[in-house]
């Protein structure tokens, strides 16, 4: 957390406040995030924001002479402040805008980061990423081709950013339930009909999560300080020993590559 829906929700929320606005200066209270805050961000001065994009779980601020790359980590969020507010313990970065508003970055666990890139497309974080799951490039033909002869389990495979970006643990659990596929199924055992349904469910669940403002379990807040509401729609994630809402079978929890995997033996095959 935050995953693709939370990052996309943030991007959509802040874009209208930032694009065409200028960053007068930055206030960096703590450079010690996962990586030190880039020196270019510390020295920013009257930089026009041309666009706000997203790639995978990265927010990308396009400026005239480069890009700010933001990752929200495990607990980060960005909020628009319409007036000055006292910074609290975990409020690490402010971008002060020309119109008086402030973009504030809060991150209790400090696993996020703010980096700078002169050339985004050649940046090491970008070059190995798979397709966006909501794009036309992510389709049945693509996933069938990538699934050939793969002997790994489907859940960790879907969470590999080289296959498809941004799904994350919460949504992969939900997607596999909706697709009626056991998370331990070997990838190459899936037939085209199952892969077709999987692609449909990936797009549907991610779009639904974005519509509900993402999922707030602990720290995530939208740009206006409101929580995301998709946690009210979760059917399986975090529901160990509860009963499946589809068939009333008890939900099972296992670990896959140190990540919590929830599934229903009756609904998923």
259 is an active site residue: yes
Catalytic residue, candidates 55, 203, 239, 259: 259
Catalytic residue, candidates 57, 104, 133, 174: 57
Annotation: binding site: 90, 109, 150
54 is an active site residue: no
Q: In angstroms, what CA-CA distances link 215 with 56, 77, 134, 174, 212?
A: 17, 12, 18, 12, 8
Beta bridge partners of 113: 71
Q: In angstroms, what CA-CA distances link 112 with 36, 73, 126, 211?
A: 10, 4, 16, 24
57 is an active site residue: yes
Catalytic residue, candidates 2, 133, 156, 183: 2
- Alpha-carbon span 129 to 236, nearest angstrom: 28
**Nearest alpha carbon to residue 189 among 150, 229, 138:** 150
Query: Tokens at residue 64, please?
Result: 């005239």
Annotation: binding site for DNA: 90, 109, 150
- Alpha-carbon span 230 to 194, nearest angstrom: 25
**Nearest alpha carbon to residue 9 among 211, 241, 252:** 211
Catalytic site residues?
2-3, 57, 259
């Amino acid at each position: 957390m935050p995953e693709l829906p939370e990052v996309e929700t943030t991007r959509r929320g802040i874009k209208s406040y930032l694009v065409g606005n200028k960053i007068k200066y930055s206030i960096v209270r703590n450079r010690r995030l996962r990586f030190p805050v880039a020196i270019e961000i510390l020295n920013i001065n009257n930089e026009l924001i041309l666009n706000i994009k997203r790639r995978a779980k990265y927010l990308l601020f396009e400026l005239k002479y480069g890009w700010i790359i933001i990752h929200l980590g495990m607990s980060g969020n960005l909020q628009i402040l319409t007036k000055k507010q006292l910074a609290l313990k975990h409020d690490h970065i402010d971008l002060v805008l020309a119109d008086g508003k402030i973009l504030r970055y809060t991150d209790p666990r400090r696993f996020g980061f703010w980096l700078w890139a002169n050339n985004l497309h050649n940046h090491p974080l970008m070059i190995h990423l798979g397709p966006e799951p909501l794009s036309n490039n992510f389709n049945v033909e693509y996933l069938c081709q990538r699934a050939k002869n793969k002997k790994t389990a489907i859940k960790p495979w879907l969470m590999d950013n080289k296959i498809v970006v941004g799904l994350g643990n919460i949504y992969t659990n939900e997607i596999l339930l909706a697709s009626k596929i056991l998370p331990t199924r070997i990838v190459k055992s899936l037939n085209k009909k199952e892969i077709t349904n999987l692609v449909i469910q990936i797009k549907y669940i991610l779009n639904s999560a974005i519509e509900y403002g993402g999922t707030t379990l602990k720290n995530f807040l939208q740009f206006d300080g409101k929580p995301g509401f998709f946690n009210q729609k979760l059917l399986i994630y975090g529901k160990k020993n509860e009963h499946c809402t589809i068939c009333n079978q008890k939900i099972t929890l296992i670990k896959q590559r140190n990540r919590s995997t929830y599934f229903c033996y009756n609904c998923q095959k």
